[in-house]
Amino acid sequence: MAIRIDEVRLHHLRMELVHFFETSFGRTYTREIVLVEAVAGGVSGWGEVTCGEHPFYNEEWTESAWLLLKNYIVPPALGREFESAAMVGAASAGIKGHKMARGGFEAACWDLEARLKGVPLWKLIGGGARREIPCGVSIGIQDSVRQLLEKIRREVEAGYQRIKMKIKPGWDVDVIREVRREFPSILLMADANSAYRLSDIEHLRRLDEFGLMMIEQPLAHDEIIDHAELQRALATPICLDECIRSAHHAEQAIRLGACRIINIKLGRVGGFTEAIAVHGVAQRNGIPVWPGGMLESGVGRCHNIAMATLANFTLPGDISAIRIYWKRDIIDPWVEVTPRGTIEIRDDPGFGWPLDREQLAAVRVREETLRPR
């Protein structure tokens, strides 16, 4: 079934987090999210651009994504027929970088295709390996160790299967030791978001004593070779996040031994087609993957849930209940986590959860409709 994109609407949402979220690159209080609505024959498909408010996780941010979508990604696609959503990414392949902006549009087209066909998105992408997604939770850097321990206790009691804590120089070995003293047997991992250098190798080796499931992206966002050297020196598995922007990067990282686990983020790799390719490379090489998160609204969260039904997503990921992030979200009902620490998938066409259009309008600060000229 060919898809002809009639128009595309960009929505800029401003959503306040329940609690600030701090990583090694900064603190976020309010998310500025771009949603992409792709319309064909009166049916809308929805995608989310997962970049941050500032170019600190990678080079993208809300404003860059808006401009890229408006000036480069959407115009060539308007009024054009695509054989399927799988062909949409190739149409913007000439753009260097900006994969989160490209991925927001690409994901909207997959959601649109699923709705036009009346099938759930997880089915369209070839997922469905499980009906329940194993969930972990990502806990930011806190003002005190006591606060961190309280948060971890709350989420462990809620049933989350693994805890990820953010680390940075000055908030690492000593803090993890406290966490381990309090919670000796939980599945625990640490995410550094590129805060260290290879010269920190002796310091990072001290993490080996804590039995972490993995350490995520310790070194620079674009540095695969040093990660390979670090991995040779560490017992703890390295998981790459920022470094893996394509299936080709996954191949290189695995070939060099730079990681034993990969975090796949839909936006970071430019959408579903590339995410499926990264998943395939990892699967063929015996590397388990899990779904990363970028503090998404319900729309992006549901896309991640669909992705996590692919067979090799065997580790609990950063997909957690909406209440952890938002007072009110733009989907209704909310995504909930079972006492088993899982999310049950749904069979509605598209991403599976109904949009709350009233709330969408309430948090929208800018809207623009792009039509063929």
x/- map, 115-144, ligand OSB, by CB under 6 A: -----------------------x------
- Residue pair 183/156 in contact (Cβ under 8 Å)? The answer is yes
Q: Is 318 in the site for Mg ion (CB under 5 A)?
A: no
Q: Is 191 in the site for Mg ion (CB under 5 A)?
A: yes
Q: Is 103 in the site for ligand OSB (CB under 6 A)?
A: no
> Shortest distance, CB of residue 179 to Mg ion, whole angstroms?
18
CB-nearer residue toward ligand OSB: 193 or 312: 193
Beta-sheet strand order (sheet of 7-23): 43-49, 26-40, 7-23, 364-370
Binding partner selected for residue 295 from ligand OSB, Mg ion, none, CB under the kind-specific 5 to 8 Å limit: ligand OSB
| Cis geometry, peptide bond prior to residue 333 (ω within 30 degrees of 0) | yes
Query: What stretch of H or E contains 252?
Result: helix 247-256
Q: Is 300 in the site for ligand OSB (CB under 6 A)?
A: no
x/- map, 193-232, Mg ion, by CB under 5 A: -----------------------x----------------
> Shortest distance, CB of residue 76 to ligand OSB, whole angstroms?
29
- Residue pair 317/133 in contact (Cβ under 8 Å)? The answer is yes
Residues with catalytic annotation? 166, 265
> Shortest distance, CB of residue 191 to ligand OSB, whole angstroms?
5
Q: Is 57 in the site for ligand OSB (CB under 6 A)?
A: yes
Q: Which of 322, 212, 323, 309 is nearest to 266 (CA)?
A: 309
E runs forming strands in the chain: 3-4, 7-23, 26-40, 43-49, 81-82, 132-134, 136-139, 162-166, 188-191, 215-216, 238-240, 261-264, 289-291, 342-344, 364-370
Q: Is 267 in the site for ligand OSB (CB under 6 A)?
A: no
> Shortest distance, CB of residue 50 to ligand OSB, whole angstroms?
9
**What does each C-alpha distance from 92 to 107, 112, 230 come to in angstroms?**
13, 18, 35
Residue nearest to ligand OSB (CB): 293
Site residues (vs Mg ion, CB under 5 A): 191, 216, 241
Q: Where does this chain bind ligand OSB (CB under 6 A)?
A: 23, 57, 138, 191, 193, 241, 292-295, 318, 320
